[in-house]
């Protein structure tokens, strides 16, 4: 081996033995205080260690429905011309046409009367709400009050049905045989076969000019699917493998299962209310709890605070909710290692927590980014995966704590000491010992010490004709990334064919990619980048290496 090549190699090997690893920059974020606007039915207390603690502010159900538990509410207390979103502001109203009737509603200020062909309310279901979800729907209740002008079989009161999968899929509530029926088409997923339809038709006859309260509820734990009329169960099915409670409960979902077993979103049809119904509709609500739970809480609400009906909604859940602002880590792809908090849970009280994180900035009330339930002292959050198969990592994050009172409304838990342990995903170290290995007729060969970062994906070579100004970028050779190979050295021969290949990849045309000409001086620097979301703005790329310069030259003509 020539001496001029051997000496740099020995230097690289010796230096690699004494290079210290990058320091661990892990840290902990403590949330001793959250803004007042982040508190819903929560008051601040002195914590046990002199810090800040939080508990439920009002145990008497004086507050309206918790917007973080209720998915959708339409109280129909305003004219259709002012109906842009539902009462919870979770959903956008695509179209709202009805007659607003005051003084004749089941609850609140008024109700919606549907009787014309163009009448109906169309609700956009795109987003992360329950109506737009393709994941497990969990326990849910759909309820409303109606007063028919005529009892006509086939009239559809509510529909959230799509056909993009090739079959009818969704939930429809309609009039059949003089009562209200509910059809769940392709919603339940049998473990060993295709989805199937469930239709509940038994119920109390409905009468013209009389208000009827109807609910459809499903308990995800027991598999109980039930319809209720004015608080009385009409029909019950157990959607399980055996037809008995808790035995192999089928999963409810609006999505479709693909060949690898994952549930995918195929379509998000609008949810429609009253489009084919003649009569009044009031207090339409979708919530995440089974009807029996709502009924018990509602009874307690009226006992503790009788004036609750004046606000036009019936609260069904007493919680204090702390929704943090959207915080920011220093870099993208940050790994959350543990989340923990202190809690004092009085008898029959409860605390549960949600967390979400993204590299893309989002708003505090963003409904498009999914929340994930977590446990106290849960570790390795970053190993959880999103529905798209990506790891739960990012730069912007938010947490939400739910403080649940005892069922009798007498006791509340205390929450304090929220902390998050994290570790930044640092960029790789800049490549070391970049040097010119050879020059020739319109080519230059570079080499550098192989980067040993565990998540290294590749290298990029920046070059130009002015020092400090890089006019070209080389990141692939024959379509493959420039990456580590055998040995301790990475070596790349740069010629005009390689420059042309990489120039073709620059679709935006931001760089000039000057071709190599003999006797012209060129400057080069090399970076390393990792495997986190490659080829996106969220990827981690090292700083530029120390620049080197070289001239292509054909050499002597005399041989």
Give pLDDT tens digits for 252-293. Answer: 888 877 666 666 777 789 999 998 899 999 989 998 754 444
Domains of the chain plus CATH, in order, are 3-22+427-550 (2.60.40.10), 27-59+320-423 (2.60.120), 70-208+223-286 (2.60.120)
Query: Of residues 358 and 260, which shows the higher confidence score?
Result: 358
The pLDDT score that the predictor gives to residue 21 is 38
- Both tokens of 164, joined, read 């993009």
User: Exposed/middle/buried for 75, CB within 10 Å: 0-12, 13-18, 19+?
Assistant: buried
Average pLDDT over the chain reads 84
CA gap 508, 320 in Å, rounded: 50
Q: Is the pLDDT of residue 317 over 50?
A: no
Residue 32 near residue 297 (C-beta atoms within 8 A): no
Q: What confidence tens digit (pLDDT) does each residue in 25-53 have?
A: 789 999 988 898 889 889 998 876 777 89
Q: Is the pLDDT reported for residue 19 higher than 60?
A: no
Whole-angstrom CA distances from 394 to 298, 355, 533 are: 40, 12, 11
Residue 5 has a pLDDT of 37
Residue 8 is predicted with a pLDDT of 40
- Confidence category of residue 129, pLDDT binned at 50, 70, 90: confident
Q: Characterize the bridge pairing of strands 350-358 and 396-404.
A: antiparallel
Which of 223, 231, 144 is closest to 187 using CA atoms? 223
- Per-residue pLDDT band for 360 (boundaries 50, 70, 90) equals very high
Tell me the per-residue pLDDT of 323-336, one tens digit each, with 9 for 90 and over. Answer: 999 999 999 999 99
50-54, 406-410, 448-452: which has the highest mean pLDDT? Answer: 448-452
Cβ pair 295, 289 in contact under 8 A: no
Whether 316 and 65 have beta carbons less than 8 Å apart is answered as: yes
Q: Rounded distance, CA 505 to CA 102, Å?
A: 64
Which backbone phi and psi does 81 adopt, to 5 degrees?
Answer: -65, -20
Q: How far apart are CA 532 and CA 453, in angstroms?
A: 13
| E strand or H helix at 102 | strand 99-102
Q: Once rounded to an integer, what is the mean pLDDT over residues 62-90?
A: 77
pLDDT-based confidence at 312, cuts 50/70/90?
A: very low
Q: How confident is the model at residue 313 (pLDDT cuts 50, 70, 90)?
A: very low
Q: Which residue has the higher pLDDT, 106 or 23?
A: 106
**pLDDT at 310 exceeding the cut of 50:** no
* Residue range 363-377, pLDDT digits in tens: 988 878 889 999 999
Average pLDDT of span 434-457: 95
Range with the lowest mean pLDDT among 53-62, 153-162, 528-537? 53-62
Would you say 72 and 91 are in contact if contact means Cβ atoms under 8 Å apart?
yes
Is this structure's pTM higher than 0.85?
no
Q: What is the pLDDT averaged over residues 403-416?
A: 84
Least Cα distance to 268 among 247, 249, 254, 285 occurs for 254
- Looking at residue 93, what is its pLDDT? 94
Q: What is the DSSP string of 208-220?
A: TT--EEEEEEE-T
**Which pLDDT value is given to residue 259?**
66
N-term to C-term CA, the chain: 23
Q: How confident is the model at residue 99 (pLDDT cuts 50, 70, 90)?
A: very high
Q: Are 382 and 337 in contact (CB under 8 A)?
A: yes
Average pLDDT over residues 50-77: 72
Percent of the chain with pLDDT over 70: 84
pLDDT band at 193 (very low <50, low <70, confident <90, very high): low
């Amino acid at each position: 081996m020539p001496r001029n090549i051997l000496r740099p190699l020995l230097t690289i090997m010796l230096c690699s033995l004494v290079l210290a690893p990058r320091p661990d920059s892990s840290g902990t974020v403590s949330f001793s205080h959250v803004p007042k606007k982040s508190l819903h039915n929560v008051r601040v207390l002195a914590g046990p260690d002199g810090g800040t603690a939080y508990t439920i502010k009002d145990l008497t159900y004086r507050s309206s429905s918790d917007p973080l538990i209720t998915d959708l509410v339409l109280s129909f207390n305003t004219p259709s011309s002012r109906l842009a979103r539902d009462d919870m502001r979770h959903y956008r109203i695509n179209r709202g046409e009805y007659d607003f009737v005051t003084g004749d509603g089941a609850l609140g200020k008024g109700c919606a009367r549907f009787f014309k062909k163009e009448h109906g309310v169309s609700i956009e279901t795109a987003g992360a709400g329950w109506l737009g979800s393709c994941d497990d729907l969990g326990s849910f209740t759909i309820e409303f009050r109606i007063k028919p002008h005529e009892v006509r079989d086939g009239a559809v009161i509510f529909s959230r049905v799509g056909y993009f999968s090739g079959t009818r899929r969704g939930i429809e509530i309609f009039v059949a045989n003089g009562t209200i029926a509910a059809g769940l088409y392709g919603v339940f997923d049998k473990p060993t076969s295709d989805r199937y339809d469930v239709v509940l038709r038994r119920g109390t006859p409905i009468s013209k000019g009389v208000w009827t309260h109807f609910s459809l509820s499903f308990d995800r734990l027991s598999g109980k699917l039930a319809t209720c009329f004015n608080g009385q169960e009409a029909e019950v099915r157990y959607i399980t493998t055996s037809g008995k409670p808790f035995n192999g409960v089928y999963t409810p979902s609006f999505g479709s299962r693909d060949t690898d077993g994952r549930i995918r979103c195929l379509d998000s049809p609008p949810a429609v209310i009253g489009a084919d119904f003649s009569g009044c509709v009031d207090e339409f609500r979708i919530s995440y709890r089974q009807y029996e739970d709502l009924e018990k809480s509602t009874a307690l609400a009226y006992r503790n605070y009788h004036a609750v009906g004046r606000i036009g909604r019936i609260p069904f859940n007493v919680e204090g909710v702390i929704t943090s602002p959207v915080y920011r880590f220093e870099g993208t792809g940050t790994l959350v290692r543990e989340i923990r908090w202190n809690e004092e849970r009085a008898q029959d009280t409860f605390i549960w927590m949600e967390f979400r994180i993204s590299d893309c900035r989002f708003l505090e009330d963003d409904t498009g980014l999914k929340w994930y339930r977590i446990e106290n002292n849960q570790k390795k959050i970053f190993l959880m995966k999103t529905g798209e198969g990506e790891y739960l990592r990012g730069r912007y994050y938010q947490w939400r704590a739910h403080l649940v009172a005892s069922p009798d409304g007498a006791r509340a838990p205390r929450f304090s000491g929220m902390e998050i342990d994290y570790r930044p995903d640092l960029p790789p170290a800049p490549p070391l010992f970049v040097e010119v290995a050879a020059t020739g007729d319109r080519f230059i060969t570079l080499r550098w010490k192989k980067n040993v970062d565990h998540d290294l994906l590749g290298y990029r070579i920046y070059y130009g004709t002015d020092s400090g100004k890089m006019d070209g970028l080389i990141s692939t050779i024959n379509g493959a990334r420039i990456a580590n190979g055998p040995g301790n050295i990475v070596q790349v021969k740069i010629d005009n064919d390689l420059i042309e290949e990489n120039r073709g990849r620059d679709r935006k045309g931001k760089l000039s990619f000057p071709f190599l000409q003999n006797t012209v001086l060129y400057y080069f620097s090399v970076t390393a980048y990792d495997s986190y979301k490659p080829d996106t703005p969220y990827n981690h790329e090292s700083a530029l290496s120390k620049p080197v310069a070289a001239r292509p030259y054909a050499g002597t003509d005399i041989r």
